[in-house]
Structure 1
Amino acid sequence: MIHVPTAEMATEGEARIGFFFLNQEFLPDTYQYEGEKFNTTNHFLAITPFPWIEIAYVCTILKGIDNDGHVGHNKKDRYFHLKVRPLKEGKWWPAIAIGTQDPGSKVNESYAEGKYPVNDYFQNYYIAASKHVMYRRNEFGFHLTYRYFTSDFNAKWRGIAAGITYRPSFARNLRATIEYTGDDINIGADCLLWKHLFLQATLQNGKHFTGGLCFKLNLLGKTHPD
């Protein structure tokens, strides 16, 4: 979806490389420079080597001071995202997936002392369920997720999150999304052009824009079923 992970998986063999603009309201509250939040970008590389596992590397840009004393978006926060789907979606049951972002490392607890961590901004673990229903060739997706963020500064996103996706019969390459993150409500739309170019535009709480694009290529020559 947008901010909330789901149990959906890309087609086996699919690789993705992308770039997104991230509004400051989309980010953890500790994404600050001199006490102020800032807009930024990220880029990522992801692959689905098997139909039940996805692996991604994400790099988010931070604002700070470089070695020459220049202020700008010149620092990076890097992490891996792993998702495993032990149960594939069936006619009467949802797909179930478990996953994590930035696993293994320990969150810097200095936030409670008024300081900000140097990493682990996004560390969380989740379990998600997704079920799709067809109605007159329109596809509706229902998604329910429980997330546990290890840091208190992301506590607003701990707990239950959910969303609905809609893919119309007249344009199978389009999808609309609405989701509840545990703290706010996001809406968005995405589109796949020429089978390879994925575009997404979203509004957090209906007013803060976040969006981007990615290039998809299936290394095994497979296509996603409609």
Structure 2
Amino acid sequence: MAAVWICLLFGVLTCKAQLTNGVTGLLHMPSADMQRDGTLMIGGNFQNRHNLPNDFWWGYNSYNYFLNVTFFKRLEIAYVCTLLKGKKENSYWPAITYGKFVNQDRHFAARLQVLREGEWWKHMPAVVLGVSDPTTGAGFDYTDMAIEGNGNGYFNRMYLAMTKHFDVRVGELGVHAAWLYNRRTDYPLNGPAVGVNFKPAFHKELNLIAEYDSKTVNVGFTYSMWSDHFNLLFELQDGKYVSAGLVYKVNLIGGNRWKHWR
């Protein structure tokens, strides 16, 4: 916790989060925000055990790391790895691995922005379609979908997300709504998620977030440092379980080209 406050005091404070899952969004729930075209993100998170979907494989605090790229301002693709320990309760692991990080779960995630905010109509919210961990990833056969059951595809979900931002006197307010879906038995999803974020006018690099992710109510913040190259994330899942992460962000296209396309 002390490290968080040190960063707040000394950072040169615009991060869009859900980086606990390696993609743009809020804390856990998706949003329809997007990164700049050509943005590359490399990051990692401390994940409390309540933030992980399957107690058979996890049930303990862990870590993930990810690589994320945004193309054409509308398409975002991420590759996420979550570390696994050997568990005595799980016969898959030999005794030498018990209590040690010896493997990792790997999955892909993708987001497509169907509509940008204000496109076609000034009041139009941004709309994104997304998917996480869509296949079992068995070998190179990606035709075996992971929507159902409790096998591979632990982070599987599909979603539709909408976002609208409002300029208010004291800052910028973002309002977000989504519908999440899978038919998993280990962490079933089929319901709404709602959230808000607020960037105070006196310090817009600080992004305060509150959400209901269809399972729990979470609060936290993201904090942009060094001209948005580093982004810090801190959250309290269900108001009490800590997760935190750090992301390095760079734009591969460059500022001039971005300004021209925008």
TM-score by length of 2: 0.77
| Stretches of structure 2 lacking an aligned partner (at least 5 in a row) | 1-25, 88-92, 137-144
Where does residue 47 of structure 1 map in the other structure? 69
Which of 184, 190, 193 lines up with 1:151 in the alignment? 184
**For 1:50 and 1:67, how far apart are their aligned partners in 2?**
46
Where does residue 94 of structure 1 map in the other structure? 125
Which of 188, 201, 215 lines up with 1:183 in the alignment? 215
Where does residue 97 of structure 2 map in the other structure? 70
In the alignment, structure 1 residue 27 sits paired with structure 2 residue 52: yes
Shift of 1:150: 3.0
The superposition leaves residues 26-59 of structure 1 with CA deviations (integer Å, 9 ceiling, x where unpaired) of 111x2335xx711100000001121111010000
| 2:86–2:94 contact (8 Å) kept in structure 1 | no
| 1:123–1:150 contact (8 Å) kept in structure 2 | no
1:207 maps to a residue whose letter is K
In the alignment, structure 1 residue 107 sits paired with structure 2 residue 146: yes
Where does residue 61 of structure 1 map in the other structure? 83
| 1:12–1:222 contact (8 Å) kept in structure 2 | no
**Alpha carbons of 1:108 and 1:133: their partners in 2 closer, same or farther (altered >3 Å)?**
closer
Higher strand share: 1
| 1:86–1:97 contact (8 Å) kept in structure 2 | yes
Secondary structure in 2 aligned to 1:69?
helix
**For 2:208 and 2:147, how far apart are their aligned partners in 1?**
37
TM-score by length of 1: 0.88
Shift of 1:107: 3.5
In the alignment, structure 1 residue 15 sits paired with structure 2 residue 40: yes
The superposition leaves residues 115-164 of structure 1 with CA deviations (integer Å, 9 ceiling, x where unpaired) of xx3x2101111000000000126110000000102312212x42100100
**For 1:218 and 1:79, how far apart are their aligned partners in 2?**
24
| 2:134–2:147 contact (8 Å) kept in structure 1 | no
The superposition leaves residues 94-113 of structure 1 with CA deviations (integer Å, 9 ceiling, x where unpaired) of 000001001133339775xx
| Stretches of structure 1 lacking an aligned partner (at least 5 in a row) | 112-116
Secondary structure in 2 aligned to 1:93?
coil
| 1:5–1:145 contact (8 Å) kept in structure 2 | yes
Percent of pairs with identical residues: 35
In the alignment, structure 1 residue 171 sits paired with structure 2 residue 195: no
| 1:126–1:148 contact (8 Å) kept in structure 2 | yes
| 2:148–2:182 contact (8 Å) kept in structure 1 | no
The superposition leaves residues 192-226 of structure 1 with CA deviations (integer Å, 9 ceiling, x where unpaired) of 0012000000001111000110000001113999x
Secondary structure in 1 aligned to 2:33?
coil
Secondary structure in 2 aligned to 1:160?
strand
CA RMSD of aligned residues (A): 2.1
2:249 maps to a residue whose letter is K
In the alignment, structure 1 residue 162 sits paired with structure 2 residue 228: no
Where does residue 142 of structure 2 map in the other structure? none
Q: Would you say how many aligned residue pairs link Structure 1 and Structure 2?
A: 215
